[in-house]
Chain A
Amino acid sequence: MNLIPLLLVIPLAWALLSLLLPRLPIGLLALAGIVLQLGTAAMLWNNVQVHGASSYAIGDWVAPLGITLVADGLTVTLLAMTALIAVVCAFYAIFYLRAYEKERRYFWPLFWFLLAALNGIWLAGDLFNLYVGLELLTLSAVGMVTLSGERHALAAGLRYLYAALLGSLAYLLGVALLYGAYGTLDLGQLSSLLDANLMTQLALALMTFGLLMKTAVFPLHSWLPPAHGGALAPVSAILSALVVKSSFYILARLWMDAGDALMPVSAAQLLGTLGALAIIWGGWQAFRQSEIKMLVAYSTVAQLGYLMLLFPLAIGQSQQSAVLAWQGTMLHLLSHGFAKAAMFLAVGTLVLAVGKKRVVDMAGISAKMPLALFAFGLASISIMGLPPSGGFNAKWLLMQSAIQSGQWHWVAVLLVGSLITASYVFRVFSVSFQKDADPQIRSTHPALDLSALLLAAIAIALGFAAAIPVELLTLPEDML
């Protein structure tokens, strides 16, 4: 039996299960399902490592008539990351949601639909199927943001929904143009057909705009902080670590598949500039926030900026520099996923324990909640890009790529970005280590600290074992 469809069937089946049987111990059931999914993803990862990339025609109808799923080195790495982050977040959620009786019932079906959408997007090889996947992702993500039913959550959900729907329509318009021009929706076929003309370029520009909107790239980011900062902690972690990455993944695939031939170097430089502005603006805003979860959410805006550096470093540059940029970007995507999920989980625990949201309320917390704070610290090392961590390796690769292609201004952006990151991270630490404060805290389950710690440890471990995912990203089937 092929493993690829199982990665879709498992989350969909568990979504139904948790929807139809809410009286079962749904959290434990979910944990079993997600472990099963992790196992499947690991086996698929191993398969691809041994035998190379594979594709799977759903319903036995080959593209362009049917829909083909593709599992290459990048896909399986992302599938594994998704399963790994999801397993820890699910474990965390079981304990965290004890305080949220009403939300718990509907959290799990949405969680599973979200995972199904993510797996579907990583595997998709068809433009329209990606649209449906993106809509499934958006609707379940918005649903998770509004779970609490409070006014601010509803407002954040609406803002998120409207931005995402606008993005979807822009993307779909691009798909309509491409289908009109080439008569196929299959990405693999399109990449060999695409040719420079007004229609194709307009289509790619529209799709790029839509995906930038969904990835919350500066200046289209304003929906992200309230949504990610206002949601329940495990929801924030999944949204920041995985959901925004999926639209970036489609964007990167599109640009790398279309190749340098179609994309003008000036457009790539423009995307890079947006990334640089995101790094600076997001970092500055993170520094200014009074609520600690909003600080972490703005940090996501800044970190998403680094992903945009892929385009100026890879488009129109030498092969060697492009490969380095590709590996660096994807490693950044991975390590930011783990580190940011860890950060949100740790901060969620702190807020739960203190019962207040502001940074200044965390005064003196270091003595009472050392483990959660330690997890936050480990994650910050990777976010700041200090060695040894996945974040450091990613930025190192990006920097090498910038130096090789002689684009020194991006080196400067990388360095300034790390400095700004350090400044907002140390703001949290300087408050939490205040000696004279004595905060009142509620006791929290140790499992909460443990989950955050585990994810942070993975982000650090990527500093030692970066070669494992990076090797897979340069398989011969890779699109570069």
Chain B
Amino acid sequence: MTTDFWFACIGAVLIAMALFTFIRHTHLLRRILAFNIMGSGVFLILVGLAQHQRQTDPVPQALVLTGIVVAVAATALALIIFRRFYQLSGRTELDEDQQ
């Protein structure tokens, strides 16, 4: 097993864990955390799989760099809307997600 392959597998497990959390939890911040880890899992697969038994590949690395920046933009946007929502409503979950 190569290093690249091993971390691609770790990425797959991370995605599954994050998805499970996303389905199960309704707290909006918890879901943002799940997104970020899910994204990291995807990035690990993108780089690890492309480099597995091949040479080091700058293209997926550049794509992941783009992906990280896009992820931080989305996270920041989600946090800003969430905090405004919390200010107005005092809630940390969307209304319809209540049990």
> Which A residues are closer than 8 A to B by beta carbons?
128, 131-132, 135, 138-139, 142-143, 146, 149-151, 154-155, 157-159, 161-162, 165-166, 169, 172-173, 175-177, 179-180, 183, 222
Contact = CB atoms under 8 A, between A and B. Distances in A.
Contacts of B39: 169, 172
A71 B99 CA distance: 49
Interface string B47-73: 001101000000110010011001001
A177 B12 CA distance: 11
Complex A-B, nearest 4 residue pairs according to Cβ-Cβ distance, in ascending order:
A180-B49, A176-B46, A154-B85, A151-B88
B42 A158 contact: no
Contacts of B17: none
Contacts of B45: 173, 176-177, 180
Contact of B42 (A138, A150, A173, A183): A173
Nearest to A128: B63
B88 A157 contact: no
Q: Chain B: interface residue count, which band?
A: 20 to 34
Nearest to B88: A151
Contacts of A172: 39, 42, 46, 67
Interface of B: 15, 22, 28, 31, 35, 38-39, 42, 45-46, 49-50, 52, 59-60, 63, 66-67, 70, 73-74, 77-78, 81-82, 84-85, 88-89, 94-96
A130 to B, nearest CB: 12
A30 to B, nearest CB: 23
B94 A169 contact: no
Contact of B84 (A154, A165, A183, A222): A154
19 contacts: A132-B66, A132-B70, A139-B73, A139-B77, A150-B88, A155-B85, A158-B28, A158-B81, A158-B94, A161-B74, A162-B28, A162-B35, A165-B78, A166-B22, A169-B35, A176-B42, A176-B60, A179-B49, A222-B96
Output the residue of A131, A132, A158, A177 with the most chain B CB within 10 A: A158
A256 B70 CA distance: 29
B77 A149 contact: no
Contacts of B96: 222
Nearest to B23: A166
B84 A149 contact: yes
A162 B85 contact: no
A161 B50 contact: no
Nearest to A164: B74
Given A132-B66, A151-B89, A162-B31, A179 B74 contact: no
Contacts of B88: 150-151, 154
A135 B73 CA distance: 10
Contacts of B81: 142, 146, 154, 157-158, 161
Contacts of B74: 135, 138-139, 161, 165
B70 A135 contact: yes
Contacts of A169: 35, 38-39, 42
